[in-house]
Amino acid sequence: MGERSIFVKTYVPDGWDQSHETVPLRVAREATVIARLGGVGGLRGRLGVPRLVDHVPALGTVATEAVSGTTLDKVLARNGEDCRRAVFLAGKWIQRLQSLRIELADYASYTEIDPDDLIMYCDIRLRALSERGLRWVTRRRTAAILNTVDSLLRASSATSRSRSWCHCDYSPGNIIWDGFKLTPIDFGNARIDLELLDVATFVHRLEMIALVRPWRFWPVRKWADAFVRGYGRPNVSSDPVFQAIAIRLLLCRLLTNVRRVAQNRRQAGHDFWMRACLKRRLIKAVRSVYGVSRQELPS
């Protein structure tokens, strides 16, 4: 029998969303999801699933068989011919994940900072941004952003607000591509959430590639189009729930940026520039809903 390479991940409390209490629960959740993926119809052939080897909640460890290939972020960075095929499959993979059956116990949430409610979720991020000294987050802007999310949700259909199993960190860095098969990994955040969450997250991450490295050309639109076609909803980006989630993702990204301690002046400069871009995008998202003037929502 050939030797298997094993990948062992160890969770450590991080003072933000992982504590000594939540780590064992997350480990158990990740292991359960990976084990159940094996039974999802349609996840076969070019749509791969990681294989669980072992997990020890008390130690915070999850062991999976190593998936051969390269993470999709590196594949996209090369901008080769297979990128569109890979992102198309990434969309298809999410569509299949959404057929994973939900058990009652799956609704248990292990974190207070990630509430189900999108408005509460955004409010927590806005407060955290303000507490970390981002003066841009005024009361007026907070209200405008939360009202926008609220309006989008009100304008949405019940179908768009459906919940399903979500990966919840569906980024190219958490997906492995071997040129034929696409296998998502890292199910540590998986939970029941809005079914458009993974879709919006992946598109957001693609957009961030161009934002983080603007000195190069990235065919982000083409990749995003291929991804949503794979998902089976080519026009999903016009769905109000998708747009509300996009605001949530911009807030998360802004918070990550603000929390990051720059290692040197160049990085500090880049972080500053990124913050400005993210703020502009947030304002644009709010304006596109309200059509408000510059005076009403000063930038």
Chain contacts with ligand ATP (rule: CB under 6 A): 7, 9, 50, 64, 66-67, 71, 173-174, 176, 185-186, 188
The bridge status of strand 6-10 relative to strand 61-65 is antiparallel
Which of residues 165 and 242 has its CB atom nearest to ligand ATP in the complex?
165
x/- letters, 126..165, toward Mg ion (CB under 5 A) = ----------------------------------------
The partner residues of 47 in beta bridges, in order of sequence, read: 182
With tokens 């929502």, the residue in question is 297
Cα distance between residue 243 and residue 155, in whole Å:
11
**Which among 70-78, 108-116, 167-175, 200-208 is the span making contact with Mg ion, rule CB under 5 A?**
167-175
Structural element, H or E, at residue 176: strand 175-177
Chain-centroid distance of CA 299 in Å reads 26
Decide if residue 198 touches Mg ion (CB under 5 A): no
Of positions 174, 183, 201, 243, contacts Mg ion by CB under 5 A = 174
Question: For Mg ion, how many residues bind (rule: CB under 5 A)?
Answer: 2
Decide if residue 186 touches Mg ion (CB under 5 A): yes
What 3-state class would DSSP assign to 129?
A: helix
Instruction: For the CB of residue 26, give the shortest distance to Mg ion in the complex, in Å.
Output: 13
Cα distance between residue 58 and residue 20, in whole Å:
9
Residue with the CB atom nearest ligand ATP in the bound state: 186
Cα distance between residue 289 and residue 299, in whole Å:
16
Which of residues 184 and 240 has its CB atom nearest to ligand ATP in the complex?
184
Which of residues 13 and 42 has its CB atom nearest to Mg ion in the complex?
13
Q: Take residue 244 and report the two structure tokens written for it.
A: 């509300």
Q: Which does 66 bind (CB under 5 to 8 A by kind): ligand ATP, Mg ion, none?
A: ligand ATP
Q: Which does 166 bind (CB under 5 to 8 A by kind): ligand ATP, Mg ion, none?
A: none
Q: Running DSSP on this structure, what letter comes out for residue 232? A: T
Cα distance between residue 220 and residue 59, in whole Å:
40
**Which among 113-121, 136-144, 184-192, 277-285 is the span making contact with Mg ion, rule CB under 5 A?**
184-192
Instruction: For the CB of residue 148, give the shortest distance to Mg ion in the complex, in Å.
Output: 30
Instruction: For the CB of residue 70, give the shortest distance to ligand ATP in the complex, in Å.
Output: 8
Cα distance between residue 203 and residue 233, in whole Å:
13
Cα distance between residue 81 and residue 60, in whole Å:
39
* Binding-site ranges for Mg ion (CB under 5 A): 174, 186
